[in-house]
Structure 1
Amino acid sequence: MTKARKQQISLESTPYYHCVTRCVRRAFLCGEDRQTGQSFEHRRGWIEDRLLELQTVFAIDIAAYAVMSNHYHVVLHVNKAQAENWSELEVAERWQQLFKGTLLTQKFARKEKLEPAEYDAVSELVAVWRKRLMDISWFIRCTNEFIARKANEEDQCTGRFWEGRFKSQALLDEKALAACMAYVDLNPIRAAMAETPETSEYTSVKSRCEKAKAATSPNHKYQQPNTLMPFVGNPREPMPEGLPFKLTEYLELVDWTGRHLRSDKPGAIDSKLPLILNRLGIDIKHWLYMTQHFESRFKGLVGSVYSLKKACQSLGMKRISGLSACSELME
């Protein structure tokens, strides 16, 4: 049975989510249709550009993404504190970058004087918009509707372009976050669309690799792509403002994992394992399995057994879905 979105997304449990949206048509979303020979490769750029544009409007950061032939993956971080700190004027300005708003909110955005009753009406509407600007469903909606309109116009047709719902997985701890990000970034390699992470088109790892090559201090958050959530290391303090790994550690991990996923490579376990695996306490075989089957193996909540039980309790869920997989692979 399909779960309500509120049972899949709870900021009290985690701010990190893996979302997947698939095309409903038989023809490719992107790439090349073998039956007609028509290329849709440029649409991958549409999606990448739209995702990176929206992260500048929403209080949502992009940790990882990969645009494939008939679907795309994105790992999102909801920055609730950022949204709550915006002024009412900033919320109105951000929302009206995407939607027209009302005559009153347009007047408010122009900083024109409002009557008390008018201001109350604007304030009430802005409160709704503030919640939407940190809502993953609205983020995905603003991505998909934009792409669907462009694709339908190009195809000179109407009707559904995407499946009705996007798939969402809550990433409850660092292990789940690292495994899911690597799974997303390595999608093109598993699909034989690229040979190495740095040549994987329309992925976050390619963008990070290109920036790292030009950086004098690649682990510094300000020398990483400003369109992506930065890596800030793993300080001994509460979850920092950024991904809790070093960029160089993560790139090393993805490169090592990618070499073992390639079917034309021997796949022997290297004695020089990335240190991040030891720090996260992840078994080598479990790691390689997760980075190939993350989406199919895990259900809506992903993390250690402790974090899974805690999240289910806060969500009021009596049955713990996916407990056996998390117990086997995340412990």
Structure 2
Amino acid sequence: MTFQDLNIIPPILDAIREMGYNNPSPIQEKAIPVILSNKDLIGCAQTGTGKTAAFAIPSIQKIAAVKSSNGAPRVLVLTPTRELAIQIEENFKLYGKYLKTRQTLIFGGVSANMQISSLRKGTDIVIATPGRLLDLARQQEIKLSSVEILVLDEADTMLDMGFVNDIKKILSFLPAKRQTLFFSATMPPPIRKFATSILRENVEINVNPVSSTAALIEQSVYHVEKPEKPKFLVSLLRQENPKQTLVFTRTKHGADRVAKMLNKQGFHAMAIHGNKSQGARQKALSEFKNGKIQILVATDIAARGIDIDELPHVINYELPEVSETYVHRIGRTGRAGKTGIAVSLCSSEERKNLDGIQKLTGNVIKVAKLKSRKESVA
């Protein structure tokens, strides 16, 4: 099947071709016709399978069919992090370049002045994090009464992060008659319950099981006690010598410590987490994407906007306590049909986390050993 078979209009088809895409991914193939038919949707698919295009393409096409003159947003995309919001806006710009759709980014951590200025000039699509959007709605700086399509992207993460009350308040500003789309890599029962409470006769699409991890990702685990992890990580990186590696830690301070340690050992590493300024986070992401730095050490939330088609390595320096988070983490590699490697360092304290991950994914992760462990941290 091609994008043309999905009845995509020529201006969007031209933009898609320029991006080098000809055939839709499974989630795009199934979701786009549903969205174009004006039905609500729950879309569950692995990270890296094209969920953003699955809602961006039909959303742009729908608002292009009927022009609006009041300048109020017609599409609202809610997402948990600034990085992911930026990434989604880039996609909307690319797919809508020949239709001249107007996008506005709204997120906290920076001055709201430029965001308010953009809204006052008129916009078609708003991509926002819930907290800042709610602030602007309460200040009447944004009118949401004309929203036709509401998208909750990474819905499970938003609710896990405690955004559920903000989202419920935002819903009170939206018209009751609208199209609502839920997208996520995982859909635990509490999230599904919330989704169905605000959807109308929705269609549910599951592309691969909720708990699945990409088949193209080679997964392994090393059993390493916590005090040994720093020197083990150095040995592992020197042995594998990957072009780029994304390392996950559980805490912000842990990310800083690991990045500092790796730099002392001669690697070029940077940390990214919620305590960093927006400018610092964007600089780290940009330099990682363009290859200026070899290793990015990140917390889970900060890493949600990292989308690199050929990222070869992900390392779980610490295993996540929430099993679904593992699916999101390793989904940073093995994207867009590429292969990837996901390595986890598991201490005896984390064995229960490993058991939970294996139960969720239905996959026994192979135990690996280093070929040599001569290197040590000075």
* Global fold match (TM > 0.5): no
TM range (shorter): under 0.3
Q: Considering fraction of residues, name the structure with more strand.
A: 2
Q: Considering fraction of residues, name the structure with more helix.
A: 1
Q: TM-score, length-normalised on structure 2?
A: 0.22
